[in-house]
Chain A
Amino acid sequence: MADTTVRKRTFAPWMGLLLTVLGALSNGLPFTGFPAAPVPWISLLLSLIGSVVVLFGLWQAFGQPTVYKGKLSSALATGFSLLFLAGTIFSFWSARHIPRESATAPQVGQRVPDFTLPDSTGHSVSLTQLFSGSASKEPPKALLLVFYRGYW
């Protein structure tokens, strides 16, 4: 059988790479105002779909070399997409690697302990003082204590 057929180039590895890159980039979606809750799953799902597409491309290039060409390019695309996949999986893991809600943390219906801490101008303020308001401000009906990780 004469090998004169023109071998097709497979684009699957590059499509897959694109998907894993989009998966990694989607971590930035919360900064655009997109609802944050689904983002970790969108990011993971895009990367996993991308990986399947990459594997399909690899199978085309290496499993059916008479039909498809592009072994080197598909290997390259696979390498890059592996890097992005690893990054996405690591960020997924590390973003959720926080202590679970402690059973001894204040619960709804419980009173929180009072405390005194310096504010960002260096003046000590207590929870009680924050509730009492100031000369210019009416006392607040409620406070939203926002504990954040810092190092922003």
Chain B
Amino acid sequence: MPVAISVDAVEVSENLRHKRGYSFPFLCDPKAEVIRRYQLLHPRGGPDGTDISRPAEFLIDRSGTVRWENFTEDIRVRPRAEELLAASRSIR
């Protein structure tokens, strides 16, 4: 199950989730506390010089262990679905 996390406020996240028709949870971290704890902070990366998250994806199993991860070097380049699917098949 995907879980989206960003600094967006509750209403903004709900708006995006609704607009795209996603049923998975969107989590809101406006103070970037969890983002900081995961070492993913992009200081002043937001439109008004706000701190945001750098793009990153982690596939974690039930023990909380990272099984696959992706850190893009370019915000225009998204992760490859094949890679993610291959990693998720190894989890049972």
Q: Which residues of A contact B (CB under 8 A)?
A: 27, 30, 35-37, 39-40, 95-96, 98-99, 101-102, 104-115, 117-122, 125, 127, 130-131, 139-152
Judge if B64 is at the interface, Cβ distance under 8 Å: yes
Residues from chain A with Cβ under 8 Å of B67 in the complex: 108, 142
The 5 residue pairs across chains A and B that have the minimum distance between CB atoms:
A150-B6, A120-B14, A120-B13, A101-B71, A102-B39
Docked Cα-Cα span, A98 to B72, in Å, equals 9
What number of residue pairs across chains A and B have CB atoms under 8 A from each other?
182
- Chain B: which residue is nearest A107 at the CB level? B66
Check A117–B76 contact: CB distance below 8 A: no
Check A118–B39 contact: CB distance below 8 A: no
Docked Cα-Cα span, A82 to B59, in Å, equals 43
Contact A36/B77 with A111-B65, A149-B45 known, Cβ cut-off 8 Å: yes
Contact A148/B55 with A110-B66, A117-B34, A118-B27 known, Cβ cut-off 8 Å: yes
Min C-beta distance of A134 to chain B, whole Å: 11
Check B38–A106 contact: CB distance below 8 A: yes
Docked Cα-Cα span, A99 to B45, in Å, equals 9
Contact partner of B26 (CB less than 8 A), chosen from A37, A108, A110, A120, is A120
Check B28–A117 contact: CB distance below 8 A: yes
Check B38–A118 contact: CB distance below 8 A: no
Residues from chain B with Cβ under 8 Å of A117 in the complex: 5, 27-29, 34
Contact A37/B10 with A99-B41, A109-B66, A141-B62 known, Cβ cut-off 8 Å: no
